[in-house]
Structure 1
Amino acid sequence: MTEPRPGDAFQPGDVLNNTYRIEALLGRGGTSDVYRARSEISGRLVAIKVLKAEFASNEDYLVLMTREEEIREIRHDAIVRYSENHRTSEGLIYLLMDYIDGPGLDRKLKEGPMAAEELLTICKRVGEGLQAAHKRSIVHRDLSPDNIILRDGDPAQAVVIDFGIAKDTNPGAETIVGNEFAGKYAYAAPEQLSGNTDARSDIYSLGALLLANFRGKPPDAGANPMEVVQKKKERLDTSGVPEPLKSLIDRMTAPDPEDRFQSMTDVLAFIESGGAEEPLDDATVIAPPPKTEKAEATPPPPAPVAAAKSEKPKVQRDTPPPAKKSGGMSGGLIAAGVAVLAIGGGAAAYFGGLLGPSGPTYPVVSPFSLVVADPENLPPSASGYVPDPEIQSALAARMTEMGGNANLTLASGDIAPSWGADVMTVLDDIAVLDDWQLAVTGNQVEVTGSTTDSAVISALSAKYPGNWPGGLTGTIDVALTSLFLNPADVDNVLVQYADCGALSQINDPGPVGYGPDDPVLVKGALASNAAREDLQFQLEDLTDGRNVVMDIEILNPALCVVENYLPKASEGGMEVAFTDGITGQPHAEGTFSVGENPVIDVIIPAGVFTGFLSVSVLDVSGNVYHLLPHRGRPDNSILTLRDGKDGAVPVRVAYPLDDSRPEGSIAFTVDDTSLGKSKILVIHSDAPLFRQMRPGTESSVGYAEALRDRAENSDGIIRSMDTRILETTQ
């Protein structure tokens, strides 16, 4: 999760369209932010993508949002489900989509190499989803680890998200980036640099990200556009990758699209066959098409970029592309002793001198916008338009040095002659901030950020906003943040992840909050290990290097549902002791195997003589069994249970099989029909919890709701509530 800011479009607690309550900000992007929200009607979680205010009135960006909405027609579990666009009364545009709970492959990339078997599973799953998209002539164009999420951490449930720059390849369909470069350099196919994209480009990107996650690091894309162009001509290094993953990646990432798998159908067939298909050797993969004598001798004249694009035939996706023509022109390459590549985006201007003495002419755009950001919990990024290759190269190099990415398009616009140098000057000035964003529209600049150093704010305030460099003007808003971590900020994260009852901080950081060296200790229960990993990750991001210690119990989903209904009550010191009724041996850990006979005793602490004791088992199947009181033992007062004894007194509530026991009491053995975790619930109340005896067994949720209602309508009746987990295994 990402920390919300006062200037954000939405804040946690906001309700959109009288339906969707905002719960958290998931991430910030150059043109949009993504939130997690919950339907007030159905309780369903959704993700909401909101276009930033500065783009909300721009028709080009509205076209992109509309195009992304239309991808809802692709019905496949591996493709995120889109709903529809809405506009708020303030004019903000947002898009509804499914919320996918799980780690992204970008997070898995940071954690280190993944197993080849997992990656083959991911490739099959993602390939099936892209196959469905390609059949509808939709090419993603931006496949990278950050837009593939593993639902619940399961590679077999990978989901492709963010079709924001997807291209509809049907005749006449366009996006605002048209045929220009779209995607991240590290994963983009070589032909994307020259504006050519089809289904084979997605195949390349998928293969490149598989290799990245196998290595545990992204491919080296080069430090500047010239290096990018050169590296994209080379095959990716798959040495050390085991078969069949190696051959799969080699075939997916051949630099020449003609030498790749020609469709996702081919990729899936290769996986299904276990790689039995004979892989192409290097000579076959990289061999250029035959050239005529004329092509060898006489290079064709360089053509303008637009003309080169117009000659590229349209290709229906997921069907074999047309054969390449032999001769001087092949996939955008012009053979003339020295290759000349006409490209859009990243490196076009490096070849600008070939277009005539006056230099290249770039398309005019309005507004001329650029967003560069180094957010707290996301990689740095730069996206938008730049006027010349020097600023393009400088920004791309800076993002690479910072571990981020750049998606920059050369364009012309209504900007000052010194615009590039002026922007770089501002970036140099604000780089000292802990996190920042620079948004430029024409010559207008908006800078936001934060720092813990008041001297940094003083230095920036002395220059800005009165002394912007060159032709720039604008605003700057830098917040001073504390060296101390506010416990309320930790609570905000805990609330977002509390899917199995409340999560709490168990150490007291004092009135000023957590110091730089203070650990953060968290206790509670969660529904899955994936949720625990996500919480750990988010807390470590939030706490800036502090030691995060989590005492988290993983419960089954049935118990977690109940946890959300149980009333809040403090612990009262009632202990639960386990013994095996067959051997008489204590089970201090509370774990029993198939065939064993769990015996349960509740220990009333010394000094507790008043009130009533209720004991129930919320079991793994979603039912509750009432151990005390019940029809054979209706009197559950502490005095009766003590039976005249002082000190700590054990009260048996589940018996050995061979013992005589009160009518209605239980004795049982573990079988393999319902293994997992059950919760023993021990409640000390001032009066009987209910006016009438509960049935011996009932729905856990029904009981928890009744218990909560009783607690709310009889203030203070529950003195304490103690719990203990009983786990049954094979």
Structure 2
Amino acid sequence: MTDARPGDLFKPGDLVNNTYRIEALLGRGGVSDVYRARSEISGRLVAIKVLKSEFSGNDDYLTLLKREEEIREIRHDAVVRYSENHRTPDGHVYLLMDYVDGPGLDRKLKEGPMSAEDVLVVCRRVAEGLKAAHARNIVHRDLSPDNIILRGGNPAEAVIIDFGIAKDTNPGAETIVGNEFAGKYAYAAPEQLAGKTDARTDIYSLGALLLACFRGKSPSIGKNPMEVVQNKAKPLDLDGVPEPLRAILARMTHPDPGSRFQSAAELLTALPGGGRAPVPGPADDRDDKTVIAPRQQVREEFAGVAAEPGPSRPAKAEPARSGSRGPLIAVLLVVLALAGAGGAYFAGVFGPRYAAVSPFTLTLVKRAGAPLNVSGYAPSEEMKQSLERLAAQEGGTAQVTLASSDAIGEGWAGGVLDLVAMAGGLDGWQMEVNDRAVRLSGRTSSRDVHDQIMSALEGGLPGGLEGTPEIAYIAPVLSAEVLKPILSQFSDCGPLKLVDAPATGYGADAAIRVAGTISGAGQRDALAAALKAAAGERQVALDAELLNPTLCLIENYLPKAPPSDIGIRLGFGDKGGEENTSGDFVVGENPVIDVLLPDDVTDGYLSVSILDVSGNVFHLLPNIGRTDNSVAALRGEQSGTVPVRVAYTVAESGAGKGLAFRVDDSTLGESKIVVIRSSGPLFKQLRPTTESASGYAEALRDQSRNVETRIYSLDSRILTTVTQ
């Protein structure tokens, strides 16, 4: 666990999305922090990854988190299960995922070497997870000891986490933020330094980290860029590694991707018991922190390493210089030439120009107001040049590799370029091509453009391509009046309202925020679906508190009054009143409640009640045993913040001081503490200490007609009772 800091977004005890109670901060990263939380509905533990505030408004980092969310489609016990993204009312974006309880391999690494048997167990388990990920064209690209957790410390239950910089298998495709090297130098495959990644990249990284676990220390790869490049071209030192682990690791970590296992499935087959014997392959440190280096930074880091081009490349390469605008690949090729023939494996310069690839992929991304970026394969020089010209006209980049494939057909290039031409009229769009399958999505504020594209594609995609376009029409301005009937339809538990609704309507990129209370998760999900249908691609953020039937009934009759600085503190009666920041109490515990009067609250009357999950209402102040609820009497002669105890310890109650509660298993769930400050007594007659929710609701309805009493404020807090 990591110690909390004052600047942390969430703190232990905080309730996120009215569902997840924060328990601890698990760790901090450069871009995000991760918390452990527990669902107050199901009791399930989850991990919450939240983007740091400086990145919450950055589209590139939002894309990163969205990409990680999309990996939820991978269903395997060896891959962490992702859920969905949410946004807090103040704009922070977070991602829900399963909580995996156990040590990371980085911690095991610090404890010393692992046995060869355990290393092979981890290898099989992680390879099974990679097989599932690679089947969906997802490459992790950052496999390292800290990204693999042993659930319960068991090597057979290893789980891959942190797909934050994962991407599809399209070489040169957009990575995390722009086009940079991403990964850890110590475990990155050689070709990864040149921006090339596929399934074999993950296999190399897995082999390198397994070797580190067997030795009990991270690999030494050099102290400067030149040493890194030279060492990456060499086989890893496997001296002292026993068979069959040695042969497995030798092939997993071969510098030439073509000499490695070509897939996780092939690796699994080669493992002991996998069906065949493994095939032997030829046989101070850089920081293990993940490196996400901008292309210019990588270029400058490796610049100045002058070299003559290799003999198999007659075209002369100019040495790289700091600040050069040339592509990263050119700089790396110059450096890799120094590493000899071994370096050529991962530079990819000695292979055939039109190598056959599968799948044949191409990705084009044009966000609103941003340049067009293209990456992937083209089957001809003409198409490659067309894509490069188009990207240049839009101020973007094109990283296109000439390749061939039997899966695309003669009309593939023309069909793709026709779709690109159609998409050019959209405000923002993205096209992902995988062999003949195309996913084209975009949006426009022009109804004519939308209708023209959909009409043109009504009979199918051109060039024999397959897929259904997802083109959304987003009205330039969405009036708040369109949304209000939807809120009324779902207001079954008190009013729902739009937060800071623009007077002129919501623009195409505006976020729609809704606050209030609602009767349950099903009703909330239905509301969210209805709002999203009306909002188009606008973001919808629901800050709707989930309440049980009793609370919903009362919520419709509570006075409409603003919150104040009056505080509600919960404590453990069995521990001398020690504060309970979470608000959770288990069966057998004795909750105590104190109302904290700020120093500027000196007049009026205080009414405090608990709305119980069972349908009862307990009036803590005033009641038959404590009739004087004037603020002046409660403060006495005290100044400053004054605590007023309204629910006592069992011992205090036995001494006649007031009501006490002890949690039993008959009324588990959420109860609501309500504190109302008014100019005079809230009710004309003293309410019974305990009454039904319907009786209290009727009294509140009658009170609303009392024009003599003014309601100053209403404050509340949820108290939750659980079995354990």
TM over 0.5: no
TM-score bracket for this pair, using the shorter chain length: 0.3 to 0.5
Q: TM-score normalized by structure 2?
A: 0.42
